[in-house]
Structure 1
Amino acid sequence: MNSIHPTAQLIGEVTLGSGNLIGPLVVIIGPVTIGDDNWIGTGAVIGAPPEVRSWQHPMDAAGLDTGKGIVIGDRNVIREYVQIHQGWHDITRVGNDVFLMNQSYIAHDCTVEDRATLASSVLLAGHVRVGVGANLGLGSSVHQRCYIAEGAMVGMGSVVTRNVPPFAKAYGNPARVHGANVVGMERAEIPAGTIGAAVSTYALPFDDALESLVGAAGLERALAGWLRHGTE
């Protein structure tokens, strides 16, 4: 069973799992697939066309459900007035246990992986990827095609114009790495020796220093993600 407020609008091909709450004035425009036990707050808009100048915006309300689609997993919290746009070249994806605070924005073709947090008014441009457990602070913005790697923390108000490596702290305009996210690593139960190595590593220019963390216990998945997405 899903709880859908009577003022919410589900348009086109929208597929829901079970246990979802869809609040007042929510608009969902397919193609959208949503899993189980998600909480979607007042005024969220999920499935508007990609914001691309060359996109042929439909002039008939019956044709609003266009795009490559959106897939949202399970147990996510999507707060008031969040916007998630349709994919342009690929599906826009939100994983599981993600927390999207009010007025955050996920553009076309983005991927937000499991347990990531976007604070209020975070802006993701097109094709951005946010890794597992990453945390983006209030009002930060991310340039298109950037990768925020697993466990990274981005400070409030930051402007991210380049990839942020795993379990790093980055802040500023433009954002730069300023050490390791020790608290995030401890919460991820990464061994103390690896945490110490990361603290030393992120005191150096990370483009060179990341090589020293290859093989460090507890960072295997994060570094594999970096090699796939962060070096593009």
Structure 2
Amino acid sequence: MANDIHPTAIVGDDVELGDGNVVGPYAVISGRTVIGDGNWIGPHVAIGMPPEVYNYAHTAVWNKPEGERFVRIGNGNVLHEFSNVQSGWATDTVIGNDCFLMTQAHVAHDCVLDNRVTVSSGVTLGGHTHIWSMANVGMSSVVHQRAQIGPGAMIGMGSAVRKDAPAFSITVGNPARTTGINVVGLERNGCDAATIEAMTDFLLGRGELPASAPEALRELLTAWTDRSTDH
């Protein structure tokens, strides 16, 4: 399946594109960028620009890529108008599969977005941010560099996230604080009422991960609990 690239878009010679991608008017994809299949990249989206790091060499990456780091984007993602994804600095910048980036979303250098992440309009992600699977970052929120947003977490609009947001939490405010549990997210992942009650105690640090939780969810939450905080 061929890619549908608008004539006004700029795709660098060293960019690797899979199949079935749509690239909209005036989009610029440059640097060392690898993109999978079936992505929708809207008008004026910028991917692969140099990282916003003081004293980093800012060159014409749309003509010739510089540096050793990549942007790696998986399959089935949507990047709406004026969103941007910077090239990695210390590591690669990575977007997984089936993520949804709304208008003017900013994904800084070295960020990692796992699968099925939603980044709403006007969100700014600082460098080295890690957004885990199924998390949703609300409109105009700001996430401090090196913070992690747990799997299934909901970040309320206009929040200033300065530290890690717990898995399947509802976190909101400036500074952001956890105000509840994302019950709807747990239901969508196969948890019944009794499991959600037990899961609430676990997520709030008052109990163990319940054995009744679906296996895929247990694996995800175990990975979150065992995550490295040196990031």
TM-score normalised to structure 1 length: 0.91
In the alignment, is the contact (CA less than 8 A) between 2:31 and 2:64 conserved in 1?
Answer: no
How many residue pairs were aligned? Answer: 227
Secondary structure of the equivalent of 2:227?
helix
Partner of 1:185: 186
1:227 aligns with 2:225: yes
Listed one character per residue, the Cα deviations across residues 74-115 of structure 1 (whole Å, up to 9, x for unaligned) are: 010110000100000111000100000010000000000100
Q: In structure 1, what residue type is equivalent to 2:225? A: L
Partner of 1:213: 209
Q: CA deviation at 1:214?
A: 6.1
1:8-157 counterparts in 2 under 5 A?
8-58=9-59, 62-157=63-158
- Name the structure where helix makes up a greater proportion of residues: 1
Q: In structure 1, what residue type is equivalent to 2:154? A: M
Listed one character per residue, the Cα deviations across residues 158-216 of structure 1 (whole Å, up to 9, x for unaligned) are: 000110111111001111111110011111222332211233455xxx4x43x533656
In the alignment, is the contact (CA less than 8 A) between 1:129 and 1:146 conserved in 2?
Answer: yes
84-93 vs 56-65, which moves further: 56-65
Q: In structure 2, what residue type is equivalent to 1:116? A: V
RMSD: 1.9
23-32 vs 182-191, which moves further: 182-191
CA distance in 1: counterparts of 2:61 and 2:198, whole angstroms = 57
Partner of 1:159: 160
Q: In structure 2, what residue type is equivalent to 1:220? A: R
Q: CA deviation at 1:55?
A: 1.2
130-139 vs 185-194, which moves further: 185-194
Percent identity reads 43
Q: Tell me, which stretches of 5 or more residues in structure 2 are unaligned?
A: none
Q: CA deviation at 1:217?
A: 1.5
Q: Tell me, which stretches of 5 or more residues in structure 1 are unaligned?
A: none
9-18 vs 139-148, which moves further: 9-18
Listed one character per residue, the Cα deviations across residues 39-83 of structure 1 (whole Å, up to 9, x for unaligned) are: 000000000000000312227874454450111000101100001
